[in-house]
Amino acid sequence: MSWLDEVRWDDKGLVTAIAQDAQTQRVLMVAWMNRESLQLTADTGIAHYWSRSRQKLWKKGEESGHTQTVHELRLDCDGDVIVLQIDQAGGMACHTGRESCLYRRLEQGEWVVTDPVLKDPASIYANGTGH
């Protein structure tokens, strides 16, 4: 049995993937991986994901240059979540130009933006959105 067979893929052949900064332990983003993207990630040491919105394989940083170098891959006890310990090139994981995609905190019943935009997405991506 292959190590990939130990992953509990959902009915669409995907597994949740959490990218965590290897130094600070901050969660930078949550994405999806299919079998091919997980294999590519393991083989190359660069994070690859499956884009549900574009329905295609996606190498993180292919447009922005903000690649993720993978130090470690972990599988949770249920086999349905992958955690990638990564170094984030450019200091930004989010297509909004922020360090982390998790930049809003619930405060008194409202989502409050807690992280600044480090770089305008229009200057990072050709179409200005990163999607």
> Is 85 part of a structural domain of the chain?
yes
> Is 126 part of a structural domain of the chain?
no
Q: In the prediction, which pLDDT does 123 show? A: 87
Q: What is the DSSP string of 33-69?
A: EEHHHHHHHHHHSB-EEEETTTTEEEETTTTTS--EE
> Is 14 part of a structural domain of the chain?
yes
> Is 104 part of a structural domain of the chain?
no
Q: Is the pLDDT of residue 26 over 90?
A: yes
Q: In the prediction, which pLDDT does 127 show? A: 56
> Is 59 part of a structural domain of the chain?
yes
> Is 117 part of a structural domain of the chain?
no
Range of the domain at 83: 3-91
Total domain count for the chain? 1
> Is 111 part of a structural domain of the chain?
no
What CATH number does the domain containing 79 carry? 3.10.20.810
**What is the tens place of the pLDDT at every residue in 76-128?**
999 999 999 999 999 999 999 999 999 999 999 999 999 999 999 888 876 54
Q: Is the pLDDT of residue 129 over 70?
A: no
Query: pTM for the whole thing?
Result: 0.90
> Is 75 part of a structural domain of the chain?
yes
The span from the CA of 62 to the CA of 53, in Å, is: 16
Q: In the prediction, which pLDDT does 113 show? A: 97
Alpha helices by DSSP H, listed for 1-131, are 35-44, 121-124
Q: In the prediction, which pLDDT does 5 show? A: 96
